[in-house]
Structure 1
Amino acid sequence: MIGELTANQAVSPNGHTSLPQAGGLNRSQLQRLVRSGLLSREGPVLLPSAAARAWHRSGDPSLLIETLHINVRFVGEAMHALASAPLTHDQLLRLAREEYDLPWATTGPVHNRTAWLSVTGMVDLFDRHLHLTDSGRDVLARLALGTPASDDTGVTTRLTLATGAVADLIDSLDETELRARADGANLYIPGTSANGGSLDALHMLTEAAIPSITDTDFVRFVRANFPKARTAATARTAKEALKALGLIQRTSSETWSATPGAIAWIESGEALDLARTVHASLAFFGEILGELNATGRLTTGALAERSVRYLPNRQRPLSRAAVNTRLNLLEACGLVSRLSQTVYRTTPLGLAFKDSLPCLSQEDALSDRPADTRADCNPSGRPDADRQSASPGEDIAAELERAARDSPNHKRLEKAAVAALGYLGLPGEHVGGNGHVDGRVRFGIGAGSAILGVEAKSAANGRVVEQPLFGLADHRAEIGAEITLLIGPGFERRMLREADDDPAIAVIETELLAEVVRRQDHTPLTLDQLAPLVDPALRAAQRREALSGYWQAQEVRSQVEYAIVGLLNAEAEDPLEEGGWLDLTSIRRGLRSRGYRVGEDEVEEALAFLAWNRIGVVQRSERGYRCTAGVHAAGMRIRALGHQWSAAAHHREVRPSDKESQP
């Protein structure tokens, strides 16, 4: 099919073509052919690239493989690996992940590449191993191979310019317009989010509104075309999402039409036109690209917490689901790449795209808020040296990040690492000096506690080069520790592998440690929940994912508690219901209607917490449960507990003689 498609003179970017066999390619598949270098865009149509035409004329498969290698990672590199010895798909996957930092969870991407190599005669598969053929060796000798790299630094990319209605949208984005964008707290795009499915869904829904569509017909269209959106409420939510994304607008009390920007995207088929249109309408969209680039590998949960800094019309952060919808769109447009289930990074195209956009900075978003709701952060997310930060945790995290790059002053990171661990509940002290451990901390209390050694390595370029690890055992013996915490901004690949393989070393990147410290102010973890941070059985790349489960559980727990108070308050305000009582079954049913599917034990635990006499916002009787205070009062009482503990700690630190001298 690909050979037949490249022989055609022009193809619509929306997937329409006169070739019956090519018409089976959907829009996302055509976009992949563009990224593979086989199709090129010229105005509103896709044409075979010069390389594709040369391959089609000659029939030489080596030209196809050379084109794919130039445009797709891990094609020639896979051939290079097979030149040394036959390998299985699993072994190639391990190589792609460890040597080239490719974020692949399954062998699917490897199979995709080796399928091309197999049909072109470059590799042969037998005995479950891939073998490089003589033809493959001849082609490999002509390829310029890349070197393993953990990022895309130095990669150049060509950014297509905005034109027409989309360019007008971007040009109109002054600070007032950026502030007026929709929060998009309840975004729902029907269909799948993977493999460009979200773009196909948006394309289909937007086309349905050209020239116009009624409310009733839109709901009917969604329910007819998307199996998972069968209810009228879900279809209406999808319609509101398209409005928030800037793709449809009301033209009467009953009808909707596609916006000029959306029509321009439909005509061009250019994913960046969609991204620009969405950015012009939706808050915290293009700004995500800057956050990921400036702050490092943030999880979706961390991005959700930071979102409130860019939402001038909202006092609460976005949900993880709302952030995930944004990330799925950015990924489908090629602006971010997924490193794991919850971690993304900005692509070179994304960086160029971000620089071309007017974006709302944190200071701009927060400048009109009351002073007590502002976050004193600059656009990079780190506090200025001469400005008071929002919390001690922010100060400690920021110092840790700065110290990690201050390689001439190695003791600075040693002290910062000990301070960060102490803030998390691992008290200790800085030691330092030649031949000694950098620090020691204690995990746990009493007889069950354990001493951990701290070794901190800074690097100005963010990557610690090869350093011997054999002396760490002596350092552990010196302080009676069983585990070494090796802390640094990043480590050279071979050093990281050696440390990860050592059962007595837990590798912790300063970026993750700083994130844990920052989160501890708002999503605190217990010591048991923090265990993955210092567990030597986990590799460095696995720690964030292990902690994310606990963070997510904490967030869900808080959301459930908040929802329970809201449900009971609504029941109390209902004039038809006497007393405002709800039994456990009714509460669980109400939570399900709000999207929370939690077990009975979890609901009872949350109710017991809210009924605790130190909070006392829920009352229990044989009739069930009811609220004795509003949502705001409940939040104030919970926050007050923290203030009481701080006051108690201050009182404990005041000496008796000081108290006697106070009036």
Structure 2
Amino acid sequence: MYLIKKSDYPYIRDWDTKVFSIPKIPRSSNGYPQSLKLILTALKENKPYSKPIELEGSKRKDTLERLYVFLRPTGIVEKRQNSKWEMSEEISKWLDSGDDLYLAAILNANIRFFSEILHILSKKPAQIQEIRGIAKNDYKLPWKEKSEILNRLGWLRDLKLVAYEDFSYTYSVTKLGEEFLSLVGYFDHEKIEVELDSTNNETEVPISQWALDLCVLTGEDKLLRKNGFGYLPGSVQVMHETVYDYLLLMANPTDITTINNYSYETYGIKNSSVNSLITTLSNLKFIERKTKTQYQTTSLGKMFPTSSFELDFACCVNYNCNFMFEILAELFQRNLSLKELSARGKISYDFSYKDQAELRKRIHILKNANLVQEIGADMYGLTNRGFNFYNLVKEHISVNSIEKSQDTNFQFEHENLSYLENCLKELRVASKDSSNPERFEKSLVAAFKLLGFKVEHLGGAGKTDILLNAPTAPKFAYSVTVDAKSTYHNVISENSIVFDNIIEHKKKHEANYAVIVGVSFQGKRLIDRAIDRDVVLIDVDSLSNLIKLHVEVPLKSDSYKKIFEQSGLVDLSVLEEDRKKITREGLLLQAIIECLSEQSSDPFTKGIVQAREIYLLLKNNQQFDYAPDLNEIEFMLQFLSSPLISVVGTAKEGYYALGSIDDAAQKFDFYLKACNRF
């Protein structure tokens, strides 16, 4: 029966706001409309949500709750705050009238690529591959599987709008389909190129306050963010909707068996994939474990849905994942290709993956939130909302963008990055560039120079890659062979290291120690062999930390000898005592200058004090683990009063300040710059 007038048809959403997926309800032997009628009738009759429903011709036994979750994105049903499901006014009208053409209008109003299929078939019959090709190339719907097209064709056939010819595997539009197409029209794919930014007229960013608060990240928050977003089933274009379906599923404590069954029946995924999914939702703070086998949606997860669902979801991802809103910072400067974004992620944010899948997930989330738009083939820029939102949160985003030179010496030019930062970032990226091993060697040359070593870049057959020499007198000097191992993988395998060659290099160069540097070393057998051959394994993270520690507290080459005297995995804790000694000396230097400066205005001492008096003044200073002794104080006074330093003066009666602590700082800074080669 077709009873409802065209004027009463539902409003058709803008293309950008339509949902990607058609409802994945079971298909009964009488077709999708009959399945939907039975499901909605059960809702109308207030049947328990936990009650499984059986449909003739289908083996699936979904609960009503689960089926309502499938229907929710289209707006057919909605879950109220009281956890009660309700039908939309339009779908209720269909249920009462039985007008299937009106049902088609409801689906078309809310779902992408529905009447558009009828338009394609109105030109000529087509096979599914042709329809899928148009969906991908013209409508920018990169579905990897045929299921979305097949599901739509199933609905269209059951609604009598499309016919299927078995022997030719082709679909064609029916007369009723042509009539329906004339009533509702279709979306012209050429408008996708013209109407890129649907947020042009926005003056305020639509976002929940709690989501905006999540954008304020502390230094510790940033360190805890992960590079990997994690696994979610289904299409990346609708991942926020997929997440919401699971949050509804786990609104109350839900057993893992139920979650496994739901996932298999909905997405066809195995239990191992469900475990990955649970990890992703837990990392996003959306669910939490309640018992050994039960999970429940957290208070954060229960914030959804919101009127600004997609943007709020993006804020949650940014809170937990590295290189998310940093993409906005990069695009704020200029439009970038996916390849350029990937390079900046690797170099500036330690966001490095063998493919671009993780980056594409972030791009899709940002596109769903209307912050980013595709302005060409794999070329991206900010939308009007993206610009407005970035200006709203930019003070909380660390911008580390640099342009990487094509020069093999990896010379970087960017005013916001120091030489040190560039070297550390290049070290990390080069360690994974197995196609260019010399790049890693050159990055290690720069790294060991930062530690103060004399460095020779050798390489070639029968030679070590790098030879280090301690910058001291020959009597106290030592040398180290360094073999660089770059790899495409996350760890260095045992098979990639020939220890006999390492020992041969050590003998050839008459070196005292041998080192292998790589991205990471794992495996008891590999470590045991390094111990047996007296070779130290230094991973990139440890070397980076060593350089950072050196910048904070510079040690001499005799201290670093303790690193190379080890074997097996490197242990940086051997430097702790030396670091404490230097730190203590720095504190004592500061305390003595401040003490003398304070005494300058003392009417009794008249600014001149002896070493013993300084000892009495400093012995209860809380900065020190234990009080400085007289010998330490006298040694520091001799240093500060030397002609070169000259920040402390000497007299017969004792010592006195020649300036404030700031004056002393300026002098030390001058000498630092004089010694700084970079």
Fold match, TM over 0.5? no
Structure with bigger gyration radius? 2
